[in-house]
A and B are shown apart, each in its own frame.
Chain A
Amino acid sequence: MFLSFLYQYRQYLVLGVYVLISVAFMIAKSDRVNVNLKSAAISLISPLQKVVNNVSEASENFWNSIEELKKVKKELVRSREELEKLKGANIEIEELKKENERLKFTLENQKKIEFQTAYAEIIAKDPSNYYSSFIINKGKSQGIKINMPVIAYQGNQKGLVGKIIEVSAGSSKVLPVTGVGSFVGAMMADLRYTGIIKGMGKTSDHVVLEYINKDATINFGDLVVTSGQGGIFPKGIKIGIVLGFQKVKYGLFYKDIKVKPIIDFSQLEDVYVIFKQSEETFYQEGD
């Protein structure tokens, strides 16, 4: 009787069990069990993600190479004509110059980093359209800890990317400065007014610098850097440039400023995790 009742309503029972499990996890959101489970699961999944990433890159490279081949063919015809005009040598010299400059730039970037860092590649991005975290291929076994700052080089500039929020054995999750829930102590590089940079999520092209003195004279294009307050991010790392102002409700003493990040996150492929700075007490071991 009881069994037939269970069998008859099994779809609702299963639904109930799944709903209960989900809600239990959500309620225990700050519980360490939650983090443990996540990092354990990421440890299992990240090797697969690396494989998928490699396969997709390989297939993309294949298609790109076909496109490249077409381009190269055109380029070749054009180059031959040009080569005849210029009697050969000049073009090759130019190409070598460019290659040389690019290699020099990479080498200089490495030298410019004044912190002890670990190079890491992005292996996966958040599947949702709301959150913007991403996973890198370095984890606890490479010495990565929660709250470690992450930076990157783009063009000629070093900029703040974000911080580590989860660590598993061979990979870590990074919360970018643009992400929902990201808060970074910041200041105007020239005027030294301090505030907090708040991430606005994936769909916004800017972050917001909050709590800036209402009387501060700020111009478009002014540079915003980390203030070092809060102890997580080293002082003076570029965050972005002033894009404009934002209306603040009841803003008697402060104004909010729109800031365009220095780093173009859509182009980001590799990052540097900062290991050491003056105070390293804030870094936590991942679970």
Chain B
Amino acid sequence: MKKKITIILVLILVIVLQSSNVIDRLKIGNIKPNLIMLFIIYISLTTNILTSETTGFFVGFLEDILSQSLIGVNALTKTLLAFFLNHFKTRLFTEKIISVFFVVFLTTIVTKLFYFLLILLFVNKVNFYHAILKIIIPEAFYNALFSIVVFPLFRLILERKRLWQKP
């Protein structure tokens, strides 16, 4: 367990730092995949609720620090994402690539809508039409595609299981 927590902590640090450096080079148009969100989705689907909530909160908090965004917005969004996804994980079939694709796609859309709602409430005006068409949907699609590559990688690192191997 201690070993797994250490691996998660190291992964958090690497993922958060990579998200503001390397991931920028994977941009298609103006959109890059959200590796931080993918990691929280993976943790929420594979670990217990306390680990999920805590990972969501701290990763979101780190993201807030690195971003121009108001501190707390990502922390709250990612904590709630982790809580609800973990809560419903037994109803989600995430062993098939196609299921993972849709879970990530829909989770990104819901989380981002909530994120922009918080921006609207606490920061500034948001053009939701623009946000949905130019950010949320492209990012959801890119995340879903990217999850096919990174989820097996997370699995390999955290659980020492091979790509898309059934439990």
Is A23 in contact with chain B by the CB < 8 A criterion?
yes
Interface locus among B29-37, B92-100, B147-155, B156-164: B29-37
Contact between chains at A127 and B76 (CB < 8 Å)? no
Partner of A203, one of B30, B66, B83, B116: B30
**Residues of the B chain whose Cβ atoms lie less than 8 Å from the Cβ of A38:** 65, 71
Contact between chains at A175 and B34 (CB < 8 Å)? no
Do A37 and B71 contact each other (CB < 8 Å), given the known contacts A18-B57, A22-B79, A52-B17?
Answer: yes
Contact between chains at B34 and A129 (CB < 8 Å)? yes
Is B122 in contact with chain A by the CB < 8 A criterion?
yes
Interface residues on A, range: 35 or more
Do A173 and B68 contact each other (CB < 8 Å), given the known contacts A15-B53, A135-B20, A203-B130?
Answer: yes
Is A93 in contact with chain B by the CB < 8 A criterion?
no
**Residues of the B chain whose Cβ atoms lie less than 8 Å from the Cβ of A22:** 57, 60-61, 72-73, 75-76, 79
Q: How far is the CB of A63 from chain B (nearest CB, A)?
A: 11
Interface residues on B, range: 35 or more
Is A235 in contact with chain B by the CB < 8 A criterion?
no
Q: How far is the CB of B48 from chain A (nearest CB, A)?
A: 9
**Residues of the A chain whose Cβ atoms lie less than 8 Å from the Cβ of B72:** 21-26, 29
Do A26 and B67 contact each other (CB < 8 Å), given the known contacts A14-B50, A126-B20?
Answer: no
Q: Identify the B interface with A (CB < 8 A).
A: 13, 16-25, 27, 29-32, 34, 36, 49-50, 53-54, 56-57, 60-76, 79-80, 83, 116, 118-119, 122-124, 130-131, 134-135, 139
